[in-house]
Structure 1
């Protein structure tokens, strides 16, 4: 797996975990099998990450100049990340640490 593919996979893994946390807590699912609304959003995110023209140079979508998400979906994912972000350290500490290190050091 090359660096770009690894970066895409890591980003998807993080977003999948965050959506799972949100869906489990808010929509009362098991966090693995998402509700239809959260699954639809995850499918959308997967398509957008796969088609991202700036994946090599950006750290995260929030720091990118090109917004690939439609405004309503961008706001939805922001809401999910605000909710799930603080909980990541308890649910997936290694993933949370990798995410923070990438943010701080742009690795």
Structure 2
């Protein structure tokens, strides 16, 4: 449940809400909400539905929130690394072309001498 608490904390921060704001909206004490965020308190289904509604999402969206963001982060990192790899491959091809050109120049020089 700690990961769920982290997701709830992240959502709260994205909304710019304090723990007090959320606790009031859920009609619970600040310490009770803090225990939800830290994973000390397990959340029952009705509280989970209440929290999901507060953040304007379904229970499934709440439970999977940030999992897709994490995947998007990995995809983004993968795209960056793929681009860097393509740049390096182009650099290697350019260097190979220079080596071939230099080899041809040396060969021509030997033939003309």
TM-score clears 0.5: no
Question: TM-score under structure 1 normalisation?
Answer: 0.33
Question: TM-score under structure 2 normalisation?
Answer: 0.32
Higher relative contact order (CA 8 A, sep 6+): 1
